[in-house]
Amino acid sequence: MTATTLAQQLPSLTIADRCDRCGAQAFIRAVFASGDLTFCGHHGRKLSVPLQRDALLVDDQTETINTKPSPSANSD
């Protein structure tokens, strides 16, 4: 299975997906033969070199950060 095929089969990360380091919302998924790890943008960037080296696929969805207003955002 190619990385492109694998990426197409993965569901999008949701607000329920949490960073395996700190518990913040996850925007990066690293797929390994033994399972997946998810990370917030901060920890995903911090670990980008070993993730790119060791993972079968790194699914970076950080472009979706702040694309929708937070439900708690003030509106006038």
Q: How far apart are CA 29 and CA 37, in angstroms?
A: 6
- Predicted model pTM: 0.79
Q: SS3 for 8?
A: helix
Q: How far apart are CA 61 and CA 27, in angstroms?
A: 5
Q: Which residues of the chain have pLDDT under 50?
A: none
